[in-house]
Amino acid sequence: MSADFDEGLATPPVAPRRPKTITAHGDTRVDDWYWVHDREDPAVMELLEAENAYTRDATAHLEQLIDDLYETMLAMVQLTDASYPAPRGDWAYYERTIEGAEHSISCRRPAAAPLPLADRSVPDPHEVVILDENEMAEGFSYFAIGSTALSADQRLLAYTVDTSGSERMTLRVRDLEGGQDLADVIDNVYYGLAFAGNETLFYCRPDDAMRPYQIWRHQIGVGTGADELVWEEPDERYFLGVGRSKDGRYVMMCTGNHVTSEWRLIPADQPDAEPVVVEPRRQGIAYSVAHHRGELLVLSNDGAENFALWRTPVETPGRENWQLLLPHRSEVRVESVDVIDGYALVEERGHATTAIRLVRLDGDGGGDGDGDGGGGGATADGAAQLPGTIIEAPAAGVISLADNLDFAAREVRFETTTLVTPLTLHSYDIETGAVTTLHRQPAPGYDPERYHSEQRWATSADGTRVPVTLAWSKDRAPGPGPCLLYGYGSYEISIDPTFRVDRPIHPLLDRGLVYAIAHVRGGGELGRRWYLDGKLENKPHSFEDFVAVARWLVDEGWTSPTQLAAIGGSAGGLLMGASANLAPDLFAGIVAEVPFVDCLTTMLDITLPLTVTEQEEWGDPIASEEAYWLIKSYSPYDNVKNVRYPRFLVTGGVNDPRVGYFEPTKWVQRLRAAHPDNPTRVLLRMELSAGHGGPSGRYQGWRKRAFVLAFVLETVGALD
């Protein structure tokens, strides 16, 4: 089932280059493919083009299947559609798509106008187009909107545009009343924008390593030469970001990384004022803030590993003035806090599931429910006497806050979904408690009743129980069959079981595959401890967990090693590479998308984007010999074995600022060279005009997804 590709095809010829010797901590490594780092070398582009040509030829026999999968995806998408309008003051905002168009159209309509017809193909007479990305994308092979920000009166829209995938963007400002861009144009900006009132705009700039390290202040209508530097972060471990409080009272700036943060505030009506520090940074202490009626709600892990929620006066925001609102619990991670007038909207995660808590914010510090909602300085470790109302996720699914843009709203919008249930938008009336379904993601011809999803548990090498979410067709024959296993496991990012029309799984389920997500350590599915147990010195737990889940799928009779494929991207690509080295005979095939596989060499090079900041996640192999040897022990590129590997489909992007194109390119060469059987088992597909996220157009994205699924189906023997 996991046959080689056409052995009659010659793998791309690679021009000889001088190997690079890399020495650290008394250890010397020889990198035969380091020359690929030099994108100015014509031989590099020749190699990438040859790899793409080889991949096209090697998969030419799958073209009909790719076309069929692509058409199946299109058939399930409401190609001409619109999202449900999200109100913000006098306006309600939404996105619209048109059949045949690659990009979205951003729109708004008067919030008080009657809602549009359910038939999204009928034009909305109240619609005002804000940004038509299809028109803006003309002439570019890649186009994406980065950040947007509205002025207080909602007349001006600041937005950033990326036309290469490099994430170095251009900032423009549009007059929404006239529909034209102003003369304000600022190049070389990053994500993050905020208006203070209607005339002052804050934005971020990246340094040479793509770290957002400066926040600037710009006056609308004034040349950029007059822009003022507000904050420069010299510590290369930290990223800067900027936004605005929901009530518009403050510009909110943050510096932080994965474990430490610091926030500063500027009153929106005094945009030239010096920023006020909420709480000075302390190593290992992370916090975020939201403003509500002269108070700050502070979500922090200070003395609370799974985070707790405090309130503090905005005039005296320091730690000594924090009053406990929602205590720490050992089994529940408080993930985020939002506000509307009178309420805190809290997202929680515990026991591998999610919930939303609505906490009333009275002027005297009290909450609703059975608890008193405030006061007290000590943390608690139980659910008793907690303030607020809980709304829980569906079984084997997820619940999350939707766009609650209006500070004065009297309803809270949230979304629910599972792997097999389309995204559904609900409204919770905070006065009556009534829940109304507002909108369900359209999926023409899709019947969720044909599929089943549930959560199970596997056991890792050290005895830790690892959650697994499964989905399959109810028509699937019992016993071992084809399976695709997904994993990520880094940065405390939880891989929630959600239904996605841009990455559908039903074409696999309809062909008898089981789809599984391994919620390995390093993610956030079981709280902060789950993350800490899968980073730095504990990083090998992520790989052990993934292999354990794969073996569990085999042992429980879901699949067999000749029918099991795995997929992961970015840090999840590292997971793929390390897992393949641990258990090369366990998988028939592996898809590694923009994979972080040369992690030791990358972490030794501080000139590369993200390297210094990433030391908090992986360790610092420059300063720490222990970290060096640990990373070397699992680095996929440094641990390629002389074995017959599973089939590999590896992807990358030439303009990727997060995982350099050279990482997947070098890895493919070393995999092929490791064993006589490997050259015809490894494919590289490189996007030559895109970055980390791949192609920017939605049809291009579906076509690429169809290609990946075709590779998976052939690999696991599910072509019939």
Number of H helices, E strands in the chain: 12, 39
Under DSSP, the state recorded for 329 is B
Instruction: Report angle CA 651, 654, 658 to the nearest 5 degrees.
Output: 80
CA distance between the termini of the chain: 12
Instruction: With CA atoms as reference, report the closest residue to 43 among 18, 15, 20, 19.
Output: 15
Strand-pairing partners, residue 277, are 264
Strand-pairing partners, residue 253, are 242, 264
Angle between helices 540-555 and 625-634 (to 10 degrees): 30
Cβ burial of 70 (10 Å; 0-12, 13-18, 19+) is: buried
In whole angstroms, how far apart are CA 138 and each of 19, 693, 697?
42, 20, 12
Residues tagged active-site:
570, 656, 692
d(CA 345, CA 515): 32
Strand-pairing partners, residue 319, are none
d(CA 312, CA 200): 27
Query: Are 228 and 216 within 8 A, CB to CB?
Result: yes
Cβ neighbours of residue 10 under 8 Å, at least 6 residues apart?
Answer: 54
For the record, the structure tokens of 304 come out as: 């609370």
In whole angstroms, how far apart are CA 168 and each of 161, 164, 213, 663?
8, 8, 13, 21
Under DSSP, the state recorded for 434 is -
Query: Are 450 and 474 within 8 A, CB to CB?
Result: yes
In whole angstroms, how far apart are CA 527 and each of 231, 258, 533, 681?
33, 15, 10, 38
For the record, the structure tokens of 39 come out as: 């994108």
For the record, the structure tokens of 476 come out as: 């699937």
The three-state secondary structure class of 655 is coil
Beta-strand runs (E) in 3-70: 20-24, 27-31
Instruction: Report angle CA 515, 1, 563 to the nearest 5 degrees.
Output: 25
In whole angstroms, how far apart are CA 23 and each of 428, 601, 604?
60, 10, 10
d(CA 35, CA 45): 12
Question: What are φ and ψ of residue 672, in 5° steps?
Answer: -65, -40
